[in-house]
Amino acid sequence: MDINQAKEIIGKQFNFIAEDANELILYLNLPQNAKILDVGTGMGYFAILLALNGYTVLTGEPESDDSIYSKQNWLSNAQKIGVDHLITFKAFDAQDMLFDDSTFDAIFFFGVLHHIHEKYRIQVLDESVRTSKPNAVICFLEPNQNGIKMIKEFDSSHPEAADPSEYAQRLNLSIQKKKGRFFNSFIFQKELP
């Protein structure tokens, strides 16, 4: 199935995120056997996009999260698109990842960092650095002004976007920014000696 067919099946909210998210996935051009972690499953939209591009994805969110954005029916969405066999769910908290050092080629946070309290974000970044391989990418997609405006139409109490770039220098990471229509991407990589 292609992305346009998926947009028709899942509908409005998927349309809203798919363009910017898919542009990033295509831009990164990760090898098909890349080990990918999608932090913050939500509706499963980002994991589904990765799977539509042929990637196998591990995704998760904390078991303890009772917000309206967690415990959504990501599996039903993935089944409708026929990519559920490429996605594995495992509950975890990004502040204390269950994974070994140097496990992932890419870690994605799509619409997630602003849902994590500011005081825990540095720990989340530390955990991402620890669990990613030396050449890995750690990517944050955060809504821009257009995106926040759209999101607030259905959730007026939604938090403001986070700015991941403020953590890059502190963790010695290089950063590349890509502007999107509704979501901006921040691509971090370890500064190799």
Ligand X SMILES: C[S@@+](CC[C@H](N)C(=O)[O-])C[C@H]1O[C@@H](n2cnc3c(N)ncnc32)[C@H](O)[C@@H]1O
CB 154 within 8 A of CB 103: no
Q: Look up residue 34 and give its amino acid.
A: A
User: In this chain, which stretch among 57-65, 127-135, 162-170, 179-187 interacts with ligand X, using CB under 6 A?
Assistant: 57-65
CB of 40 to ligand X, least distance (A): 3
176 Cβ partners below 8 Å, 6+ apart?
186, 187, 189
138 forms part of the interface with ligand X (CB under 6 A)? no
Residue closer to ligand X (CB basis): 69 or 99: 69
Binding residues among 113-132 for ligand X as defined by CB under 6 A: 115-116
Binding residues among 70-99 for ligand X as defined by CB under 6 A: 70, 93-95
CB 135 within 8 A of CB 106: no
65 forms part of the interface with ligand X (CB under 6 A)? yes
28 Cβ partners below 8 Å, 6+ apart?
106, 137, 139, 187
CB of 171 to ligand X, least distance (A): 17
69 forms part of the interface with ligand X (CB under 6 A)? yes
